Amino acid sequence: MGHRIGIDVGGTFTDFLFVRDGAAAGDPAEGAVRLAKVPTTLPDQSEGVLAGLAALAADEGTDLRGLLSATELVVHGTTTADNTMIEMSGARTGLLTTEGHRDEIDIRRGFKEQIWDPADPPPPPIAPRRRRFGIPERLDARGAVVRPLDEEETRAAIRRLRAQGVESVAVCLLFSFLDPTHERRVRALLAEELPGARVSLSHEVLPAAPEFERTSTTLVDAYVGPRVERYLRRLAAALREAGYPGELLILQSNGGITTVEVVARRAVAVLGSGPTGGVMGACAVAAAAKRSDFIAVDMGGTSYEACLVRGGRPRIESSWNWRHRYLIGLPMVQMHSIGAGGGSIARVRAGALEVGPESAGADPGPICYGRGGTRVTVTDANWLLGYLNPEALCGGAFPLRGEGVREALLEQIGRPLGLDAVEAAAGVHRIVNANMANAIRRVSSQAGVDPRAFALLVYGGNGPVHAGPQAEELGIRDVLVPSTSPAFSALGLLIADYVVETQRAYVAPAGRADAAALDRLFAEMEAQAERELAQARVSRSDIELRRMLTLCYPGQTFDMPVPAAVGADGRLGANGVARTVERFHARHEALHGYALRDEEPILRSARLEAVGRTPKPAFAPPPPARGPARAAIRARRPAWFGGRFVDTPVYDGERLSPGHALDGPAIIEERFTTIVLQPGHHAERDAQGHWRISIPAA
C-alpha cells in the first residue's frame, strides 16, 4: 500500500493529513502521520492544494512527483459548491418545467426564514423568472401520460434560453421520477438546440417527490455543477500530471466518498462536504475514547459547525435540509453552521457589538496577519488577549504582526462603546463564544436533549481556544480535543467509506404495497450500486447494503426513512412491509413524541445505501510521558482570564505526552492549534495523545 492524503479546503486554510505508507498498511510502528496547513487560494483552490502537497513532499525529502507517485489514495473535501452558493457566482442557469409550475421555486412552500418580517427579502434567484419556462407536457400521479411532450414548444423555450446566454439547464417535469421519458427527450432537444450546456435532470438528481424539493435540489445542482466539475477535473488532471496514479476521491454530504465522475453528474451532493469530514473523524475518535454521545464542534477561520451525535452516528436526513437558503432533498449529515471563525469580522452596529458572519478570509485576513487587513477579527482579539503566540502561528511558519491591532480595536470597537482596546477585545471574545454556545443550544434543543449530558468534542484550528468558556456556559463537564484537531476534517476524509445512495419512487398506502415489487426495486438499485462500487475497485465482500422505505402519515408534507424489515436474504417477504410500518410508528414517536397507529401510513419510496468499506489508516500512539509536565514550559506571558491579565505558563504541546496533566490557567501551543485552559480546568493527555479537559461544576 502507498501513502494516503486527506485534503480539506476551508475558507481560510487548506488542511492536509498525510499518512505514510507504513501507517496506512496497519503497522503504525513503520508509519507516521503529518499535518500541514497552507492558506486557501482564491479563486483557484487547486493552487493551494498543489502548494501544500509540494510542502509535504519537501518535508518527506522528495519532490511532488516522488510523493504522489508513491501515494495510493487522495481524498478531498471541497467547499467549491458552498462558496459558489455563498458568492452566488454559479453558472447562468435556466429552468424547464411542466407548464404552470415555473413559479414553484419562488413559492418555497410559503417558508420564510424571518417569519415575523414581511419585508424579509427572498433568496437571490438562481434562475430569474425570465429564464424559467413551462413546457406543455403532463404525467399523472401514477406516471401515465396525460399530455405528450410538445417538442416544438420545448425547442422554442430552449432557443429563448440560448438567446439569454444560459450555460446550465435544470429540467424538472411533474412526476418524472415515475417515468423519465419526457425529461430524457428534453435532454436530447437541449443537445441539439443548446450544445455544450450542462443539463441536470430531476429524475437523476432526486428521483422522488415532493415537487418543490426536487425543483430546488435540481436547480442548485445545475447552478453549482459547472464550477464544481471544472475545479475537480482540473485538480484531478493536475494530480495525474504531477505523478498521482490513482483516482481523486471526493467526500459527499452524506459522509461517504465517491469519484469525480459521480460528482460531475450530481454536484449538489458535495455541499458541506468539508464539515462532514470533521464529523466522521469525530465519530472515529469518540468511539476509541468510549464516548457515543457527544457534540462535535468545528471552529476554523470562517465558520463554526455544531453536530449532535448519539449512539456513535450523526443524524442523516434528506428532508428540510436548507443550505444557503435553498432546500436540498438529498441525505446530509445534520449540523448547524454559523459565521464564527478566527477571521470573523467584529463591528459596532446600532450601538451593539456584532461578530460575524462576514469573514476576512485568508487574504487579506486578520490585521495581525500583516497582509493588509484593516478590519478587526476574532483572531486579532485573541492575539491582544494573549491567547495566541504573539510572534507566529503554525509552529513559527506563519508570522504575526501586532502593528495596528490595538489601535484598530480601540477605533472600531472601543470608542463607539466607551471601552479601551483590551475591553473591546474581551467583548469580541465573549460575543463570539456566546454565538457558538447558541449554535450548540440549537442542535441540542432541536433533538430534545440536554447538552450537559454530552461531551464536547472540539476541533479546527481555533476550536480549542474557545472551548472552555463555551462548555462552562452550557454546563458541559467533559471536553475532548483530538491530537489531530487542526486538520480533523482531513482525518475524516481518510476514514470515510464509499457510499452510493439510490432511490426509486413507489407511492401507495402501506397496506396495499406490493412487497414483490419493492424487492424488485431493491434488486435494481443493488445492481446499480454494485456496478458503481466495482468501478472504484470495491469487492462485493466489502459492501454493506442498507435498505430503507420512506413513509409518512396521511397529510404530512415530509416523509421519514425507516430501515426496511428484510430477512436474511435481503428481501421483504410476506410480512416485511408490516414490520417496517411498526418501525415507522416507533421512530416517529421517538422523534416527535407521538405515533398515529390507527392511521395507515403512505409509502413514498424505496431507498438503498450501499457502503463500500475502505481500509482505515492506523495511528501510532505517542510514547508515554517521561519527566514532569513543567519541563515543557517554553515561556510565560500575560493572558486574559477573569477580567484581568494573569501571568500564564505556555507549554510546548509537542513535548507533552500521555500521562501529563495540567491545571489552568495554561496555554498549550501545538503546531497548528492552541489550547487555552481556563482557571480551574484540568487537562490530561490520554494514551492516544488526545486532550481530555475536565470542567468543574458551576
More confident residue, 430 or 402: 430
**Dist. CA 484–CA 461, nearest whole Å:** 10
Q: What is the pTM of this model?
A: 0.83
Calpha distance 169→127 (Å, rounded): 9
pLDDT digits (tens, 9 = 90+) for 89-120: 899 999 999 999 999 999 988 888 888 888 88
Cβ–Cβ < 8 Å for 665, 678: yes
Is the distance from CB of 274 to CB of 79 less than 8 angstroms? Answer: yes
Considering the chain, what percentage of its residues have pLDDT values greater than 90?
A: 55
Is pLDDT at 618 greater than 90 in this prediction? no
Please give the distance of CA 393 from its chain centroid, rounded to a whole number. Answer: 25
Query: Residue 466 has which C-alpha cell?
Result: 474557545
Average pLDDT rounded to a whole number, residues 1-23: 80
d(CA 596, CA 588): 9
Backbone φ, ψ for residue 43 (5° rounding): -85, -10
Amino acid making up residue 369: Y
Element (H, E) at 205: helix 202-205
Domains, the chain, with CATH or none: 3-84+229-266 (3.30.420.40), 90-220 (3.40.50), 501-520+535-612 (no CATH), 629-694 (no CATH)
pLDDT of 696 over the 50 cut: yes
| pLDDT of the residue at 28 | 43
Q: What does the block give as the cell for 594?
A: 407521538
Handedness of CA 644, 648, 650, 653 (dihedral sign): negative
Nearest-5° Cα angle at 408, 406 to 409:
65
Separation between Cα atoms, residue 380 and residue 143, nearest integer Å: 60
Mean pLDDT of all residues in 19-36:
61
Whole-number Å distance between alpha carbons of 35 and 244: 20
User: How far is the C-alpha of 562 from the C-alpha of 545, rounded, in Å?
Assistant: 14
Q: What number of CA atoms fall less than 13 Å from residue 692's CA on the CB side?
A: 17
More confident residue, 27 or 390: 390
Return mean pLDDT, the chain: 89
- Mean pLDDT throughout 596-610? 93
| Cα–Cα distance measured from residue 644 to residue 2, given in angstroms and rounded to the nearest whole number | 52
Whether residue 333 contacts residue 255, with contact meaning beta carbons closer than 8 Å, is answered with yes
Q: What is the tens place of the pLDDT at every residue in 524-572?
A: 999 989 888 887 788 888 899 999 999 999 988 788 889 999 988 889 9
**Sign of dihedral through CA atoms 419, 420, 424, 430?**
negative
- Read off the C-alpha cell for 223: 447552478
Going by C-alpha positions, the residue among 269, 310, 242 that lies closest to residue 78 is 269
Q: Closest by alpha carbon to 466, among 579, 342, 563, 368? A: 342
Q: How confident is the model at residue 150 (pLDDT cuts 50, 70, 90)?
A: very high
**What digits encode the pLDDT tens for the residues 428-467?**
999 999 999 999 999 998 888 899 999 999 988 889 999 9
Where does residue 170 rank: exposed (0-12), middle (13-18), buried (19+ CB within 10 A)? buried
Please answer whether residues 226 and 167 qualify as being in contact, where contact means their C-beta atoms are separated by less than 8 angstroms: yes
Dihedral sign for Cα 590, 592, 594, 595, please. Answer: negative
Mark 513-537 as b/e (b = at least 16 C-beta within 10 Å). bebeebbebbeebbeebbebbeebe
Residues in CB range of 442: below 8 A, 6 or more apart: 306, 336
- Cell digits of residue 255: 459522509
Predicted pLDDT at 416: 95
Percent of the chain with pLDDT over 70: 96
In this predicted structure, the answer to whether residue 275 has a pLDDT above a threshold of 90 is no
Instruction: Select from 89, 222, 93 the least CA-distant residue to 167.
Output: 93
Q: At 69, is the pLDDT very low, low, confident or very high (cuts 50, 70, 90)? A: very high
Residue 24 has pLDDT above 80, yes or no: no
Q: Is 530 helix (H, G, I), strand (E, B) or coil?
A: helix
Chain centroid, CA 540 distance in Å: 28
Pick 148 or 82 by higher pLDDT: 148
Q: How confident is the model at residue 680 (pLDDT cuts 50, 70, 90)?
A: very high
How far apart, in Å, do the first and last CA atoms of the chain sit?
51
pLDDT beyond 70 at 30:
no
